Structure 1
């Protein structure tokens, strides 16, 4: 017999497997010796009242066989001698595009400018310790893309674009915890993601696919309005049935190459601002209405949004990529710039909470650079990042300012302890942020101080700059075929092309692009 039950439970029951099983047995009036298997299927926290509750659903199998947890089976056929397709980039979009091509009998040739996950660590350490940025191997470039070493949040609203459960199951099949199939806001953690992406790489290689690290694409092979392949920095020409371009939102040289080759791209709205860092204990106390969150509740997160005016124009100010118990990391992709991002380990047990706090940016903001056409948004990013680098001392030490000081127009005489390991320097952030962002950010922080009592305090600080929230460029494509409208056999994909906003949505987009490439060009050379 199978029963599906739903509960509203206190955290100490919902997050304690022994107590939860006893709760289930008591409710079903099962004797201690009755065989029963309990599988949690949904779990979410309700913190709206002072009495925190956990909504939990589970399937209970009583005296009957238990079906497999995963409907997905990690079994790939050999494609080593099949027709091949080229994938540029080995982030979530590129990884899942490669797996899907293999499932459909096509050999993926994946080209990744960065290093594999293990060797990439050395370059990340060099940024932190020596302030040296390798433009091809950093927090954005390398195996697994930006997500590998910058958090691993799996929540997405893009459920209409693909099968979210399928993506999560593939991750579980490659080593991710099965808890991501249950939690409302699943998360793997930056300490565990490298093993998962390495396992995905092994699946691709075992099936006969190719992955070439330290391989940068420097040109395209165009014939009669079709993209037949790419040329690498070593001069090698690699051709295939088509090209899935999944380079991520920071591959500026690819945007510039597309523009130089007169391949249609467009400037796209995005957002920029800072990272705001509080003590995690403070966020817990506000969100959970208690002095100490205890042993059962996870580190609390928050989501804030406001509208703020500058010169009569209202735009959004909002939190982005909130990292409970996390760290601020240096995410520059070239020397001479400062970029920050956030990450959390799987346990989210760090002392600090950080979140991007950003302002919407559109054509009104990049008008001074409109002569650059579709690269205007990219240029405003560069100017912000390079200004931060110059004013913070020309290292990876980041500019920072206490929140109340920023709102009051005062330079901070001292800064707080931080999770950002290269270090901080006190700077008036209005000398870095353009007025259209600085003014709105100040007004937004005032609103957030009212929405979340204690948020606007000098016991928190902002660290700059958070400028890579999404791609400043969109590579257009047909809504149905996902193919570039001008260049056949080119499939713009994922965050870098402007069609995803995280690991899961990028993975789903990678699968869709692979399916469309095969549908239109399999057996057509």
Structure 2
């Protein structure tokens, strides 16, 4: 097929416009066009009153070779690349060793699935519960303040991405199109087919739940094994090679190929690995607050007269400001038409995150507004970032009233340094609830200074961003892992062979898509390693 890029059409174009654009670009007749598929659809909203849709199309004609020769020097007309996923190996006959995957979030899920599809029959260990039981526990915490430290937003089948906006796009380089493999598996498990072509695909929590269940069933059908409530409490190492692990119930599992896909909140596991001598470094992450506005205001600011258009959906944004004190403040994990949710996994801590359903039709928009920090801010130990997170989350628990309500403040009061005593027109979406207070007490002074400088600057790009009634809720501390479990070019720990640090928790991804892509890479590396030893 032939790939046509950068086909621009008006937002309200009719059904024949794509065909007409193809005929015009290739200078062919309608009879020469066999069919076409939409590979990607995005939009250009820089001019709000004149928004364009931008298409990438894969076209089949009855003169493909001739056209490719005619357009050999045209950058926007190329041969469609091979979009099929190709397995790198197949499990050899009689293989007795089974790879183990620790964690069943996006990274562990795709790693386990691809290993199963190649015939390696992985054992997958998840410290939390299966996704529907986990959902009950999570909603129970939000509604009744009953925290289960092993089954919550962070721990359980589907990982932290299950209770998020379900964004399925990433900025990581993906030359082998692993991301397409991820999307194909999601669609095969019930995701909307549009995620294959829209520029910013998303799913939402409720759709993710049923998808994860179907993918789990596929792994089991292919010979994989999945165990829930199976926390790993210890590992065995011999001469720099991992040989197995021990579960919380005392059971030992032997394996020389173990995927470490534990997410960014498995702090006890990080501590165990460090104590066992696995090499870990501190890495930068970010801290801040969640900010809420009315979604209609964001739609108007981004799309103007086209706000509410069904194709555009609920508007998002991405903002960054470099502050006078040398810090950078940016928006993170923006959730259009969503809610702010309680995301702690430890007692007497308050953590915020954002979540949307597929419809994105809640009243408020929210995103994190966070400040970048690095190991110079928490020196002395590879796990010092974890200690800082706990300190801030424990402080937020105190500021919120010591009952898992979150501390909150109106933006106008925060900017002026006044404690908030009553809400404005923005109604908080955080569950269990909020307590109005002075959020300058929730973060280090340099973070407060940076956010106070950044919010008015963001208002220059999104009119209304710094409105007095917008609401800040604290604290956002789990933006990414505070550690990096170093690995080499072979994807194995640099000092523990057979241990494959993967995904967000190990410092190699950020979000559902990049984590899933990393899981596929790890599965491929393990398959090649096993086969090389047979």
- 2:368 corresponds in structure 1 to 356
Shift of 1:105: 2.9
Q: Which of 192, 195, 210 is the equivalent residue of 1:177?
A: 192
Matches within 5 A, 1:442-481: 442-478=452-488, 480-481=489-490
Q: Deviations over 1:237-285 (max 9, x none)?
A: 0112311110000000111101222222111110010011100000011
- 1:392 corresponds in structure 2 to 400
State how far apart, in whole Å, the 2-side matches of 1:291 and 1:105 are: 50
Shift of 1:326: 1.1
Shift of 1:110: 0.4
Q: Deviations over 1:107-140 (max 9, x none)?
A: 2110000111111111011111111211111111
Matches within 5 A, 1:479-494: 480-494=489-503
State how far apart, in whole Å, the 2-side matches of 1:80 and 1:339 are: 48
Q: Unaligned stretches of 5+ in structure 1?
A: 14-18
- 2:382 corresponds in structure 1 to 374
Q: 1:393 to 1:43 in 2, by over 3 A?
A: same
- 2:239 corresponds in structure 1 to 224
On the 8 A contact 1:79/1:107 being kept in 2, the answer is no
- 1:10 corresponds in structure 2 to 10
On the 8 A contact 1:34/1:62 being kept in 2, the answer is yes
User: TM-score, with normalisation over the residues of structure 1?
Assistant: 0.90
Q: Deviations over 1:171-195 (max 9, x none)?
A: 2222222211211111122221111
Matches within 5 A, 1:281-430: 281-290=296-305, 292-310=307-325, 314-367=326-379, 370=380, 373-415=381-423, 416-430=426-440
User: TM-score, with normalisation over the residues of structure 2?
Assistant: 0.88
State how far apart, in whole Å, the 2-side matches of 1:500 and 1:59 are: 30
State how far apart, in whole Å, the 1-side matches of 2:365 and 2:496 are: 44
State how far apart, in whole Å, the 2-side matches of 1:167 and 1:3 are: 21
- 1:57 corresponds in structure 2 to 56
- 1:513 corresponds in structure 2 to 522
Please say if 1:118 is aligned against 2:117.
Answer: no
State how far apart, in whole Å, the 1-side matches of 2:524 and 2:91 are: 17
2:101 counterpart SS class? strand
State how far apart, in whole Å, the 2-side matches of 1:129 and 1:80 are: 51
Q: 1:431 to 1:485 in 2, by over 3 A?
A: same
2:505 counterpart SS class? helix
Q: 1:455 to 1:80 in 2, by over 3 A?
A: farther
Q: 1:393 to 1:185 in 2, by over 3 A?
A: same
On the 8 A contact 1:25/1:31 being kept in 2, the answer is no
- 1:89 corresponds in structure 2 to 103
State how far apart, in whole Å, the 1-side matches of 2:18 and 2:175 are: 36
Q: Unaligned stretches of 5+ in structure 2?
A: 64-79
- 1:16 corresponds in structure 2 to none
On the 8 A contact 1:35/1:62 being kept in 2, the answer is yes
1:191 counterpart SS class? helix
State how far apart, in whole Å, the 2-side matches of 1:243 and 1:291 are: 50
State how far apart, in whole Å, the 1-side matches of 2:473 and 2:176 are: 36
Q: 1:105 to 1:351 in 2, by over 3 A?
A: same
Matches within 5 A, 1:181-330: 181-290=196-305, 292-310=307-325, 314-330=326-342
Please say if 1:42 is aligned against 2:40.
Answer: yes
On the 8 A contact 1:83/1:107 being kept in 2, the answer is no
Please say if 1:501 is aligned against 2:510.
Answer: yes
Q: Which of 155, 178, 181 is the equivalent residue of 1:141?
A: 155
- 1:441 corresponds in structure 2 to 451
